[in-house]
Amino acid sequence: MAARPLISVYSAEGEVSKSVKLPGVFQAPIRPDVVHFVHTNVSKNKRQPYCVNKYAGKMPSAASWGTGRAVSRIPRVQGGGTHRSGQGAFGNMCRGGRMFSPTKQWRRWHRKVNLTQRRYAVASGLAASAVPALVMARGHRIEQLNEVPLVLANSVEKLSKTRDAVALLKKFGAYDDVEKVISSKTLRAGKGKMRNRRFVQRRGPLVVYDTDNGITRAFRNIPGVELANVNSLNLLQLAPGGHLGRFCVWTQGAFEKLDTVFGTMTRPSSTRKHNGTPARLPQMQMKNSDLSRIINSDEVQSVLNAPKQGQKPRGLKCNPLKNAKAMELVNPYAAVKKELEAKKQKVAEKAKKDLTALKKAGKNKPDKKDPKRAALKKSFYNSMIAD
């Protein structure tokens, strides 16, 4: 959660005009598990029912030939005079047959999500949008920004031209995120490209306003940019894909109205109710997040058992055949043996290298008139006769 008390408000010229208090919703707990659950269920509510025709694959007049014909019992097309006659039909394993378990339109398409859960998820999404680390982790390009969240003066709501909106984003360094969206546009994989979903691209900034005096016309045609009214913020826009950290651009009126819509940590909302009572922001489960201070406090230490004395820590058992230190403890001679083998290998490599050099020079052929060679042959012959 954001911990800064004041947020700067920038004019359309790029200068700091004033400072406003950070709304209480940005201090709400950030719960990725709640956001993921709510997003998964809420995103199902825009689906349209679909199913296959109940007669698909069942149109031919097919009947099984029964047993005793040395063919399978699958229904076969009746008649003759065509290749189609006698072919299997109806079964999901047959060409032109129906699918297994045909889809029905009475599937449970939509999901009901508790109102408190939805509000909790929206509050978490807003709180995460004020943490630069989460915004950058989601992939937004905010390196050139002076401050997150970015709050602009109310005069921005009067913009009506796209060129003015683009110039405004470039002035504050937010257009890098739009360029990322433009460069990410790729052809969709699969059959969706045949169904009016030909391209996919990333999400850009979310512009949150209070009053539409032309701002929607100015920003609506910029790739990746979405607009939302502060009175009806949607989790599908605050956390696309269930991932926290959407880059938000606020107008001053919308930013100051957050305390009225969501309330603060001490004051409930002025516009929203739950079971007849004003809605409140979710509270932190831990008032103090310093775990080491809690564990070492006198209150906790006084009820813990004293540490047991005289117990040696259990050592980790290692395989001596894979661990050199463990082998040295079991067999001290192993290191000496390993060193001797290394020396022996070096001598063998040197001898092989010398022999290769002699072969290349042509000096490795034995001399047949050598007396030592003749004596060796004679001694070998005598030893064979003696055996």
pLDDT of residue 387 exceeding 60: no
41 — pLDDT class (breaks 50, 70, 90)? very high
365 — pLDDT class (breaks 50, 70, 90)? low
Contact 228, 208 (CB under 8 A): yes
> Looking at per-residue confidence, does 351 or 223 come out higher?
223
pLDDT of residue 1 exceeding 80: no
Closest CA to 1 of 150, 132, 151, 137: 132
- Residue 35's H or E segment, with its range, is helix 32-42
Q: Where are the domains of the chain?
A: 6-47+113-278, 324-386
CA distances from 124 to 6, 27, 139, 225 (A): 20, 9, 18, 21
* CA separation for the pair 72, 90 (Å, rounded): 13
Coil, helix or strand at residue 226: strand
CA distances from 271 to 262, 274, 293 (A): 8, 11, 39
pLDDT of residue 4 exceeding 80: no
Contact 142, 247 (CB under 8 A): yes
CA-based end-to-end distance of the chain: 95
- Rounded to the nearest integer, the mean pLDDT of the chain is 93
pLDDT tens, position by position, 160-211: 999 999 999 999 999 999 999 999 999 999 999 999 999 999 999 999 999 9
Residue appearing with tokens 């065509």: 82
Pick the CATH number of 6-47+113-278 from 2.40.110.10, 3.40.1370.10, 3.10.20.30, 1.10.3720.10: 3.40.1370.10
Tokens of 152: 């602009």
pLDDT at 268: 93
* CA separation for the pair 109, 115 (Å, rounded): 19
Q: What share of the chain is helix, strand, coil (3-state, %, to 5)?
A: 40, 10, 50
Q: Which neighbouring-strand residues pair with 7? A: 20
pLDDT tens, position by position, 294-315: 999 999 999 999 888 887 888 8
